[in-house]
Amino acid sequence: MASVVLTVVGTAIGGPIGGMIGGLVGQRVDQAIFGGTASRTIEGGRLKDLTVQTSAYGEPISRVYGTLRLPGNVVWSTGLKETRNENTEGGGKGSQKVTTVTYSYSASFAVVLSGRKISDVGRIWADGKLLRDSTGALASGGSLRIYSGTAFQQADPMIEALEGQNSAPALRNLAYVVFDDLELAEYANRIPNLTFEVIADTGGEIPLSAIISDICDLSGITAYDVSDLDQMVGGYVISGPTKSRSAIEELAQIYHFDVVEQENSLLFRTLDRTSLATIAPDDLIQPAGNSSSNKSEPGEKITLSRRQDMDLPREIGLSFIDPDRDYQTGHQRARRLHVASDIVRQNAYPLVISSDKAKSASEIQLDLAWYGRETVSFALPPKYADLLPGDIVTLTLGGELQDFLLQETENGVQGISCLAIKFSKTLLDRNSYADSGPVPVQEVENLAPSQFFPLDIPTITGENVTSPLLFWAVAAGTGKWSGAGLFISRDNDQTYSQLDFSAADVISGTVENILPDGPSAYWDQGNDLLVHLDNPGHTLSGETSDAVLKGANIAWVGGEILQFQQVVLEPDGRFRLSGLLRGRRGTERYVPGHGASEIFMLLSSATVNTATLNFSDIGQPLFFKTVTSGGRVEDAIPQAHSFTSEVLKPFPPVHAQGKRDAAGTLILTWVRRSRVGGDWLDNADVPLGELYEKYDVEILNDSAVVRTLTSVKAEITYPDTLQIEDFGSTQTSLDVRIMQISDTIGRGWPLTVSL
């Protein structure tokens, strides 16, 4: 006896280790495919297996073909990594300093995707939201490494560094991904449920013949022929322990092929084939016991059975993986109206097919069930011995030629006994249309770049500072931005550590006119600034003169710290600033000499940050990186900067005067300034701001220093004997440079005057 073979008895597939061991046995062709009389259950991969990520021992590992969206199994994790961020606002001039401490969390982990080699990983979803787009951009901070599952892949370097060189698994022959410091703020500070668009095969599709070949190979079957299977499969997955028979059956139901055992080999053939023989009525053999004398009457040589309507399905529903719905589950159905049956069949396939093909497949399954309700049995003479199960033959039935698909053939004494079902290959020709329905478009918003602005300036508020401070600000570009960290390298751009964090971006822009020289001792009402802001969402506003005098509207332009009172928005979107206070906080040396296209930066305690440095950092080449929250330090561009710690330098003195006494001695006096406080509010002297009061006074001959005098008060004497020694005669005029001394950093900014 020969029959269509569609059964494999053996172990399950679903893991990468071990194959299916078993033999092929001849049994009747599967009735659920061809609409025969038997009823049985096909247990294949379940769609619910493709939605939930796991992290447990003993979980099956999927085998992915084509392109598919599926979860993985977390096989390694560092646990949560906590990062502490501080952001300080306010302080100075009597205001309260507020330090906000926030914590962010990230995790590094590995997820196994497939027990079969893959080509790439496309999009990734986290809790249903797009985490990685088709370009490879991540919506959250961190990095991703993909291992395709080769037999020679090496262990991930991060896992190896943490677990040890001899303890880190390479997971060879397993396709997996490693997330490195994935930011978890968007996912309730936990590892989210991840699903991956796994591109297992180059081009995203795979021949049906390749899938069947792989299943046979895993089963230990070496003799098979799949050359007739020329269809392409968009995606398929074996997601759990599955008999190879079940895997082949669910593919056969969609791609319409059968399997026959021929000469100890499995032959896979599509059903889209023509009849091999038209059986003449005279060739039919009269069954034994039939006493009819009319041997040529075919009606007496064919036994016909017909299933009742109530035993046939009224509706067949088909669940599948819809590529037009981001590889989520789709559902299509076919239904017959005005029939006595109320049977509804629901079939689920872990296959990637279009909604059109799914609609067509459900209609074909329903048509095959109803059309194949008729089964015939008959006998043929030995000349038809070359007919095999699965072949199509044409019989004359009811006066019409009809095609039947052979299910079984058995050689006997009375000839070849045959069992066949009614079949027409035209039933396979369906081109239905179906709509997948609307799907929200998800896009990854790229992280905005962060531009670093180092500010080597005095304190804006006049607070007492005894350690080197780096003032810095950051401007956010276009994209997703929730803050930026500042990282420093003291070893020539080799290694970086986090120095500070900013939760707000600075209001910055470009000065589009050249700011002329102006007064620094009173309001500059003759000059203005024309500013184009970098961020269209930012704005500037005017303030009263009292508010400006109390510290409002303070800005940095080309080294000069200034303030502005009036703001006019020009028609072209630029801002014109006037009512200026120039050279604030000891920066009057920058009032002259402004150039074109200088940077404008609004100095606010909310956006200008302070980072404490070491005294050994002063004057040394340092490298900085500003990393947008969620970004990678490795991806940021380094920026070199050497600073002089302006925050510790005493301001230049003012109001220098000189007079000569009767003996010819020159007496020089000046008024000191303070970098701490400095507002003359109570008619008392301003704070010293240093550990002690000390000055260096350089006597200049042209630009050369001929003598340096030291004083512990704002006065010094230059006797005529020293004048003669330095110049050859007493001097009627004198060029001097006066500097206050800091106990921590040395000389402050000089006052150079001619007396």
**What pLDDT does 51 receive?**
54
- Where does residue 478 fall: left (phi above 0), alpha (psi -120 to 50 degrees), or beta otherwise? beta
Summarize the confidence of residues 649-678 as an average pLDDT. Answer: 88
Q: How confident is the model at residue 617 (pLDDT cuts 50, 70, 90)?
A: very high
List pLDDT tens digits, range 8-18: 222 233 332 22
Higher pLDDT: 40 or 401? It is: 401
Higher pLDDT: 631 or 145? It is: 145
**What pLDDT does 8 receive?**
29
CB 540 within 8 A of CB 575: yes
- Which phi and psi (to 5°) does residue 357 adopt? -70, -35
**What pLDDT does 18 receive?**
23
Instruction: For residues 408 and 37, give the distance between their C-alpha atoms in angstroms, rounded to a whole number.
Output: 14
List pLDDT tens digits, range 543-581: 999 999 988 999 999 999 999 999 999 999 999 999 999
User: For residue 98, is pLDDT > 50?
Assistant: yes
**What pLDDT does 56 receive?**
65
Counting Cα atoms < 13 Å in the Cβ hemisphere of 142 gives 25
Instruction: For residues 403 and 569, give the distance between their C-alpha atoms in angstroms, rounded to a whole number.
Output: 85
Record: fold of 2-48+204-270: Phage tail protein beta-alpha-beta fold (3.55.50)
Secondary structure percentages of the chain, helix, strand, coil, to 5: 15, 40, 45
User: For residue 291, is pLDDT > 80?
Assistant: no
Among 74-83, 188-197, 299-308, name the most confident range.
188-197
Across the beta sheet with 224-225, what order do the strands follow?
224-225, 265-270, 257-262
Instruction: For residues 9 and 686, give the distance between their C-alpha atoms in angstroms, rounded to a whole number.
Output: 96
Q: How confident is the model at residue 689 (pLDDT cuts 50, 70, 90)?
A: confident
User: For residue 127, is pLDDT > 50?
Assistant: yes
- Collect all residues with Cβ–Cβ distance below 8 Å to 163 and sequence separation of at least 6: none
Instruction: For residues 121 and 125, give the distance between their C-alpha atoms in angstroms, rounded to a whole number.
Output: 12
User: For residue 401, is pLDDT > 70?
Assistant: yes
Summarize the confidence of residues 386-397 as an average pLDDT. Answer: 91
**What pLDDT does 687 receive?**
78
3-state SS string for 208-259: HHHHHHHHHHHCCCCCEECCCCCCEECEEEECCCECHHHHHHHHHHHHCEEE
User: For residue 90, is pLDDT > 50?
Assistant: yes
**What pLDDT does 330 receive?**
93
**What pLDDT does 86 receive?**
67
Domain ranges of the chain: 2-48+204-270, 72-86+99-192, 277-317+332-428, 450-646, 654-754
**What pLDDT does 624 receive?**
95
Query: Right CATH number for 654-754 from 3.40.1190.20, 3.10.350.10, 2.60.40.1120, 2.60.40.10?
Result: 2.60.40.10
Q: Could you tell me the pTM of the whole model?
A: 0.71
